[in-house]
Structure 1
Amino acid sequence: MNAQDGITPEIAEVDHIVARVRAAQKAYEASGSQALYDKAALAVGWAIMESTRNRALAELAVETTGLGNVPDKITKNHRKTLGLLRDIAEVKTCGIISDDPTTGITEIARPIGVIGAVVPSTNPAATPANNIINALKGGNAIVVAPSPKGVTSCETLLSFVHAEFDKLGLDRDLVLMIPAPGSKAKTQHLMETVDRVICTGSQNNVHRAQSCGTPAVAVGAGNVTVIVDETADLTAAVAKIAASKCFDNATSCSSENSVIVVDTVYDAFVAAMAAEGGALVPASDSDGIIARLWPDGRLNRSVIAQDADKMLAALGMSDKVPEGTKFLAVEIDGIGPDHPLSGEKLSRVLALYRAADFEEAKSVASRILAHQGAGHSVGIHTSDDARAVALGRDLPTCRVIVNQAHTFATGGSFTNGLPFSLSMGCGSWGGNSIDTNLHWRHFVQTTKIVRETPLNEPRLDEVFGDYWAEAGQ
């Protein structure tokens, strides 16, 4: 195979890898059992959760990507994997998974085949591990396509996975990756060659995944907005917002980007925020923040996902805020392309809006989502649950996180019912085919055995009786 045949060496390399993975998957499925699939998933879980390896992966991720911090990546690798393993522990993904005598339908779980997973540099170990576990749980094999900065982390993760596979006699070719150097051409060809694409990352990658010709599950952009109303427990709300905003230096798509505070508690919120290390930047100084955060129209790499001291230095704020400042809250009232603070910032910087009341706060949140982040999630700190329901009824969002630290809650938590995941579907609002957290069900398909049942055909008057009474025949 050569360029004269229309096949470049890098495309041939991808074809070779996919062929190996496809052969491994066929053998895995042929000998498949729930016990085998569960064992393989647990092997990957231990590959990333074992404490020495977890720390090595976290340190490597920060070193090679320059994003986030080691302690929080360790926590993320551990909790996201543990939560996922809890979620799937009793899930049946092999053989008959339902048998309904009323409908006469028996449902059999079947693997999809070879999964191609495009993963971001923000979570270069946790996200691929999550995808690999779900893939193997469903009887699939998987090829991972990391971002350029995530290659080393992914290589190391796979070395740990393969070491666990060797203990169990599992085929290493069940889990492979596109080797360095990565390229758009390699990733594109992978997406066109596999049986399903799972894509988490930039919206450019998402668009390419959803137009590659292979069935794809991709997720939308985050730009989390949180409302704090006059009924909220301010101390608890601010503590949760601060912890969430600062976690892993705001690398998560679920990090708060804007907070909208109702006027009657605004000053108290600012005071509580100061106690949690949040420094207020008045609107009069916002232009200086914008100029340094987007010096050339792009987010400043010296600011995004950095520790507080580095972030403050890059923004020229080190000597303008109290000692111990953990994040900045910049007062703003504008929304849209001409107001970049209203969008995602990937840094320890919040946009802070002031609203007259809850209805105005809801309107501001809706306008922010219309600008960026539609479908992903919003949050609210309140004692009035009806207001959370109102957000879910009226805003273009798939999740309303109530009285929780948003980063820890959106992707599943041990204190809420969402499935653990690092990838959140955003529905039609975000241009996605799913409106749920990515989970095991997206990695299997089913065959239905359909049997004849007794006749169940209604009479016309049973269907149209009420309609005829109102509208006539």
Structure 2
Amino acid sequence: MNAHDDIAQVSLIMTRARAAQKEYEAGASQTRYDRAAAAAAWAIMEPSRNRALAELAVETTGLGNVPDKVIKNHRKTLGLMRDIKGVRTHGIIHEDASTGITEIARPIGVIGAVVPSTNPAATPANNIINALKCGNSVVVAPSPKGVASCELLLRYIHAEFDKLGLDHDLVHMIPPPGSKAKTQAMMELSDRVICTGSQNNVHRAQTCGTPAVAVGAGNVTVIVDETADLKAAARKITASKTFDNATSCSSENAIIAVDAIYDDFVAALADEGGALVKDENQIVSKLWPDGHLSREVIAQDADRMIKALGMVGQVPENTRFLAVETKGVGPDHPLSGEKLSRVAALYRANDFEDAQAIAARILQYQGAGHSIGIHTAEDARAVALGASMPTCRVIVNQAHTFATGGSFNNGMPFSLSMGCGSWGGNAIDENLHWKHFVQSTKIVREIPAIEPSVEDIFAEYWADAGA
């Protein structure tokens, strides 16, 4: 099939998705939207299908591990369903007599979703559920390695659709094999693009001509100060760093411990399976053998990672991840960037102010806008980070991977895509959620005029600066 045929194939799919969306919207009710979203959610959450998707994802992408993907598929979907339960996305959603405005929820149309190989089932499911909840159809563009998982997910979704009499064309994917040309065509023919993945994909999404909601790169840094509960911090960081073999963009990539507790914290990490490595050159040479991250290391189980890095016999048998001492930050110091593996850079700071300065340098190099973590008993320090750092989220005393994208014990919306604001080159600074999949029409009525006098507006200014 030549390039022209590829584009024609994508165009046909988009036409079918658009027709299905029009019919879905024409006969709509909130119940219909809710049932469709629930169908897509149950398609991935039903235990046997969840496991099949997790096993296929690991088998075909070589990234992560099955038990953690099962947990991720379940919790991310359950959390999303909690967030959207009872939310009105159809009909009149707000009326305000004082302004005379009535707001009516309206679908966007056809959503084009670009999704990564790190979460080849959970991320498309999240996008599909949000799209259906808001009355849209959706076409997914998976990464090449994520094609098999996406195909299986859609098969499960369509089976659930059959129970409700819903059109399969509401949920499509780009036909394999994937290509940049096919994805480009899909984005250009969509009504809104949702993009999670490489910065190359994000750039293409934001320049395709279709309104796009894209998210920035992660490179999470976490500070451990002298007031922290070191055992709890070590336990949470280890659980977060090792989950799904560090495939998450919210996985800790750099840990900054202040001098006063550095040795005690290293000991606490060791108790949890975090092995200290002092020779950073040995790790760098094996993790980036040709200037690119080694596929033998990224998102691998601990034993495979240790073997690939030549660390067998040099770290304890219970090692779950490596904490590699380093001082450098920037392009000449790759440990300061995202590693997608059970490897974290470990920095020693003089005090909290120094830790904050190191963290700022790391985020300015990579990961600006995404998030930063802190383990502390001083909440004012978390607020200080939020007021000064180039970040949209400050995660306090939590396992970062589980907290950033929404958790049952914090107030963040459940999501696999984190907007990074202007710092990360994004239009949004919040977690991607249902509000990004709906628009509204306002009915505007005349009301009694509310017009202030010039004095009402400028009196305080004149008092300070003179008229």
Match of 1:32 among 17, 25, 28: 28
- For residues 108 and 309 of structure 2, what CA distance do their matches in structure 1 show? 48
What residue is the counterpart of 2:423 in the other structure? 429
Cα distance, 1:452 vs structure 2: 1.1
Write the letter of the residue equivalent to 2:433: H
Cα distance, 1:279 vs structure 2: 0.4
TM-score, with normalisation over the residues of structure 1? 0.98
Q: Which runs of 5+ in 2 are unaligned?
A: none
Equivalent pairs counted in the alignment come to: 467
Q: Deviation digits for residues 183-203 of structure 1, max 9, x if unmatched?
A: 000001100111000000000
Q: Deviation digits for residues 170-191 of structure 1, max 9, x if unmatched?
A: 0000001011100000001100
- For residues 230 and 342 of structure 1, what CA distance do their matches in structure 2 show? 23
**Secondary structure of the corresponding residue to residue 350 of structure 1:** strand
Cα distance, 1:466 vs structure 2: 1.3
What residue is the counterpart of 2:39 in the other structure? 43
- For residues 145 and 102 of structure 1, what CA distance do their matches in structure 2 show? 45
Cα distance, 1:305 vs structure 2: 0.1
**Secondary structure of the corresponding residue to residue 406 of structure 2:** coil
Cα distance, 1:29 vs structure 2: 0.3
Q: CA RMSD in A?
A: 0.8
- For residues 39 and 449 of structure 2, what CA distance do their matches in structure 1 show? 49
TM-score, with normalisation over the residues of structure 2? 0.99
Cα distance, 1:324 vs structure 2: 1.2
Matches within 5 A, 1:235-314: 235-282=231-278, 285-314=279-308
**Secondary structure of the corresponding residue to residue 446 of structure 2:** coil
**Secondary structure of the corresponding residue to residue 329 of structure 2:** coil
Cα distance, 1:18 vs structure 2: 0.4
Aligned pair 1:420/2:414, yes or no? yes
Q: Deviation digits for residues 73-121 of structure 1, max 9, x if unmatched?
A: 0000000000000000011000000001111111000000000000000
Cα distance, 1:230 vs structure 2: 0.3
Aligned pair 1:339/2:343, yes or no? no
Write the letter of the residue equivalent to 1:121: S
Aligned pair 1:466/2:460, yes or no? yes
Match of 2:155 among 155, 159, 166: 159
Q: Deviation digits for residues 29-55 of structure 1, max 9, x if unmatched?
A: 000110000000000010000000000
Cα distance, 1:453 vs structure 2: 1.2
What residue is the counterpart of 2:398 in the other structure? 404
Cα distance, 1:461 vs structure 2: 1.0
What residue is the counterpart of 1:392 in the other structure? 386
- For residues 186 and 36 of structure 1, what CA distance do their matches in structure 2 show? 31
Instruction: Give the percent of matched residue pairs that are identical in Structure 1 and Structure 2.
Output: 75
Cα distance, 1:468 vs structure 2: 1.0
Q: Which runs of 5+ in 1 are unaligned?
A: none
Q: Deviation digits for residues 49-77 of structure 1, max 9, x if unmatched?
A: 00000000000000000000000000000
**Secondary structure of the corresponding residue to residue 8 of structure 1:** helix
Matches within 5 A, 1:42-121: 42-121=38-117
Q: Deviation digits for residues 182-228 of structure 1, max 9, x if unmatched?
A: 00000011001110000000000000000000000000000000000
Write the letter of the residue equivalent to 1:220: G
- For residues 169 and 472 of structure 1, what CA distance do their matches in structure 2 show? 70
Write the letter of the residue equivalent to 1:393: A
- For residues 209 and 41 of structure 2, what CA distance do their matches in structure 1 show? 31
Q: Deviation digits for residues 414-457 of structure 1, max 9, x if unmatched?
A: 00000000000000000000000000000000000111111111
Write the letter of the residue equivalent to 1:358: F
- For residues 367 and 122 of structure 1, what CA distance do their matches in structure 2 show? 27
**Secondary structure of the corresponding residue to residue 226 of structure 1:** strand
Moved over 6 A (4+): none
- For residues 100 and 359 of structure 2, what CA distance do their matches in structure 1 show? 47
**Secondary structure of the corresponding residue to residue 420 of structure 2:** coil
